[in-house]
Amino acid sequence: MLKVLVIDDSPFIFKAVKKALENSVFDVVDNAGNGKIGLEMYEKYAPDLITLDVTMPIMDGVETAKALVAKNPNVKIIMLSAMGDEALLSQAKEIGVSGFLRKPFKPEELLNKAKEILGV
């Protein structure tokens, strides 16, 4: 099973990611409510994939993505954001985020994106 960590301040998104990815090759292991906790959980679980929110308290998704890429340049991140402006999309690409979906996303959209990024 491929481990997925959800970094998002919303329990709804955690649930929606679980619904979308489980019953497949993925195991959604945990939910970090902000980027700071997310970095700790990244060390703990060594996930194959991270879904990363942008608007979060304490440490936002852009800062978190930079820190994750600094730790591991090959980290696989799908950014999930309610915002979808061009400035954010190109910033995410520049940092090295592997995929971007706007919220609300459809379950199959996330599943397909996750499979595509991990090549499964």
Partner 1 sequence: MQQEKFSELVMLTRKAFEEICMELVSCEFSPCERFILEYPYKTAVIIGMTGSVNGRIHLECDLETAAKIALTMNFGERFDNPNDVYAYMAEFANMIGGRATTYMSEKFLGGEIRLTPPAIFSGKSLGILTPNIPSQIVYYSGNLGRFFIDIGYK
Query: Which residues contribute to the site for partner 1 (CB under 8 A)?
Result: 9-13, 15, 19, 55-57, 81-88, 102-104
Compare residues 47 and 61 and give the one whose CB is closer to partner 1.
61
Closer CB to partner 1, residue 36 or residue 102?
Answer: 102
Choose from partner 1, Mg ion, none: what does 12 bind? Cβ within 5-8 Å by kind: partner 1
> Which residues lie closer than 8 Å to 12 by C-beta, 6 or more apart?
none
CA distance 80 to 84: 9
Instruction: Using the minimum distance from each CB to Mg ion, give the nearer residue, 32 or 95.
Output: 32
Nearer to partner 1, 43 or 86 (CB): 86
Q: In degrees rounded to 5, what are phi and psi of residue 69?
A: -65, -35
Closest contact distance (angstroms) between CB of 13 and partner 1 is 7
- Cα four-point dihedral sign 42, 13, 78, 59: negative
Find the largest Cα–Cα distance for the chain: 35
Least gap, CB of 43 to partner 1 (angstroms):
24
For the residues of 56-85, what is the DSSP string, one character each? Answer: -SSS-HHHHHHHHHHH-TT--EEEEES---
> Rule CB under 5 A: which residues touch Mg ion?
9, 53, 55-56
**Minimum CB distance to Mg ion, residue 61 (Å):** 8
Give min distance, CB of 90 to partner 1, in A.
11
Burial degree of 109 (CB within 10 A; 0-12, 13-18, 19+): middle
